[in-house]
Protein backbone atom coordinates (compact mmCIF):
# COMPACT_ATOMS: atom_id res chain seq x y z
CA UNK A 1 0.00 0.00 0.00
CA UNK A 2 1.17 3.50 -0.79
CA UNK A 3 0.69 6.31 1.68
CA UNK A 4 0.75 10.04 1.05
CA UNK A 5 1.51 12.34 3.94
CA UNK A 6 0.60 16.03 3.86
CA UNK A 7 1.96 18.49 6.45
CA UNK A 8 0.45 21.92 7.12
CA UNK A 9 2.23 25.21 7.58
CA UNK A 10 3.40 26.12 11.09
CA UNK A 11 0.73 28.47 12.44
CA UNK A 12 0.77 30.70 15.52
CA UNK A 13 -2.12 29.94 17.83
CA UNK A 14 -4.55 32.24 19.57
CA UNK A 15 -3.02 30.88 22.77
CA UNK A 16 -4.11 33.58 25.20
CA UNK A 17 -7.69 32.35 24.85
CA UNK A 18 -9.39 29.02 24.35
CA UNK A 19 -10.77 29.85 20.89
CA UNK A 20 -10.68 27.68 17.79
CA UNK A 21 -7.77 28.64 15.49
CA UNK A 22 -7.48 27.56 11.84
CA UNK A 23 -4.04 25.98 11.29
CA UNK A 24 -4.26 25.34 7.54
CA UNK A 25 -6.45 23.93 4.79
CA UNK A 26 -4.97 20.83 3.17
CA UNK A 27 -5.98 19.59 -0.29
CA UNK A 28 -6.58 15.84 -0.48
CA UNK A 29 -3.98 14.43 -2.94
CA UNK A 30 -4.90 12.50 -6.07
CA UNK A 31 -4.83 8.70 -5.96
CA UNK A 32 -6.06 8.25 -2.37
CA UNK A 33 -9.34 6.96 -0.95
CA UNK A 34 -9.15 7.50 2.79
CA UNK A 35 -7.54 9.36 5.63
CA UNK A 36 -5.71 6.82 7.82
CA UNK A 37 -3.76 9.01 10.26
CA UNK A 38 -3.88 12.44 11.89
CA UNK A 39 -1.25 14.17 14.05
CA UNK A 40 -0.45 17.55 15.62
CA UNK A 41 2.99 19.01 16.41
CA UNK A 42 3.26 21.67 19.18
CA UNK A 43 6.00 24.27 19.42
CA UNK A 44 6.71 27.06 21.89
CA UNK A 45 7.09 30.61 20.64
CA UNK A 46 10.42 32.38 20.64
CA UNK A 47 9.84 34.02 24.04
CA UNK A 48 9.52 30.79 25.97
CA UNK A 49 7.64 30.57 29.22
CA UNK A 50 8.20 31.89 32.71
CA UNK A 51 6.47 28.94 34.38
CA UNK A 52 5.62 25.39 33.49
CA UNK A 53 2.52 25.34 31.26
CA UNK A 54 0.79 22.32 29.79
CA UNK A 55 -0.71 22.61 26.34
CA UNK A 56 -3.48 20.27 25.33
CA UNK A 57 -6.60 20.58 23.25
CA UNK A 58 -8.68 19.35 20.36
CA UNK A 59 -7.87 19.08 16.67
CA UNK A 60 -10.91 19.50 14.39
CA UNK A 61 -11.08 18.44 10.75
CA UNK A 62 -13.86 19.87 8.60
CA UNK A 63 -14.66 19.89 4.89
CA UNK A 64 -17.21 21.85 2.86
CA UNK A 65 -16.56 20.14 -0.47
CA UNK A 66 -15.91 16.47 0.30
CA UNK A 67 -18.35 13.69 -0.41
CA UNK A 68 -18.75 11.43 1.44
CA UNK A 69 -17.95 13.26 4.67
CA UNK A 70 -19.43 12.43 8.02
CA UNK A 71 -19.17 15.90 9.53
CA UNK A 72 -16.55 17.39 11.82
CA UNK A 73 -13.97 14.90 13.05
CA UNK A 74 -12.27 15.62 16.39
CA UNK A 75 -9.04 14.27 17.88
CA UNK A 76 -7.02 14.94 21.05
CA UNK A 77 -3.87 16.96 20.39
CA UNK A 78 -1.88 15.29 23.13
CA UNK A 79 -0.08 17.30 25.79
CA UNK A 80 3.06 19.41 25.50
CA UNK A 81 4.87 20.84 28.54
CA UNK A 82 6.34 24.30 27.99
CA UNK A 83 9.34 24.66 30.30
CA UNK A 84 10.92 27.80 31.74
CA UNK A 85 13.60 27.65 29.04
CA UNK A 86 10.95 27.76 26.33
CA UNK A 87 11.59 24.18 25.24
CA UNK A 88 8.87 21.56 25.10
CA UNK A 89 8.49 17.84 25.18
CA UNK A 90 5.81 16.63 22.81
CA UNK A 91 6.38 13.14 21.45
CA UNK A 92 4.92 12.74 17.98
CA UNK A 93 1.74 10.70 17.76
CA UNK A 94 -0.41 9.84 14.76
CA UNK A 95 -4.03 8.98 15.57
CA UNK A 96 -5.13 6.05 13.39
CA UNK A 97 -8.44 6.61 11.61
CA UNK A 98 -10.39 5.33 8.62
CA UNK A 99 -12.26 8.23 6.96
CA UNK A 100 -13.32 8.17 3.30
CA UNK A 101 -12.03 11.17 1.31
CA UNK A 102 -12.36 12.65 -2.18
CA UNK A 103 -9.17 13.64 -4.06
CA UNK A 104 -9.05 17.39 -4.67
CA UNK A 105 -11.34 18.19 -1.72
CA UNK A 106 -10.18 20.45 1.10
CA UNK A 107 -9.74 19.62 4.79
CA UNK A 108 -9.75 22.55 7.23
CA UNK A 109 -7.51 21.76 10.24
CA UNK A 110 -8.18 23.76 13.44
CA UNK A 111 -7.13 23.48 17.06
CA UNK A 112 -8.68 24.69 20.31
CA UNK A 113 -6.53 24.83 23.45
CA UNK A 114 -7.90 23.59 26.78
CA UNK A 115 -6.21 26.43 28.71
CA UNK A 116 -4.95 29.91 27.89
CA UNK A 117 -1.13 30.08 27.61
CA UNK A 118 1.43 32.85 28.07
CA UNK A 119 3.88 31.43 25.51
CA UNK A 120 3.48 32.11 21.80
CA UNK A 121 2.48 28.56 20.91
CA UNK A 122 2.49 27.26 17.33
CA UNK A 123 1.03 24.12 15.77
CA UNK A 124 1.41 22.05 12.62
CA UNK A 125 -0.93 19.26 11.43
CA UNK A 126 -0.05 16.05 9.55
CA UNK A 127 -2.61 14.07 7.56
CA UNK A 128 -1.76 10.58 6.26
CA UNK A 129 -3.78 9.26 3.30
CA UNK A 130 -3.99 5.83 1.68
Asked whether the predicted pLDDT for residue 41 surpasses 60, the reply is yes
Decide: helix, strand or coil at residue 89. Answer: strand
Tell me 10's DSSP state.
P
Residue 39 carries which DSSP code? E
- Please indicate whether residue 83 or residue 130 has the higher confidence score (pLDDT): 130
Q: Number of folded domains in the chain? A: 1
CATH code assigned at 38: 2.60.120.660
The residue among 88 and 5 whose pLDDT is bigger is 5
Residue 14 phi, psi dihedral angles, 5° rounding: -80, 70
Q: Look up the domain containing 109 and give its range.
A: 4-129
DSSP secondary structure code for residue 118 in this structure: S
pLDDT, tens digit (0-9, with 9 covering 90-100), for 67-98: 877 778 999 887 766 655 555 556 668 999 99
Higher-pLDDT residue of 20, 68: 20
Angle CA(117)–CA(123)–CA(125) in degrees, nearest 5? 145
Instruction: For residues 16-31, give the mean pLDDT.
Output: 88
pLDDT of residue 123: 83
CA 109 to each of CA 40, 50, 84, 86, 122: distance values in angstroms, whole numbers, following the listed order:
10, 29, 29, 25, 13
Amino acid sequence: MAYKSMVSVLTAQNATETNKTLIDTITVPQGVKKLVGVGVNHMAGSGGGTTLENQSGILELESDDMSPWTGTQTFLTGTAAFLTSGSIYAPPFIHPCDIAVSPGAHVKCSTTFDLALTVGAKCRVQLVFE
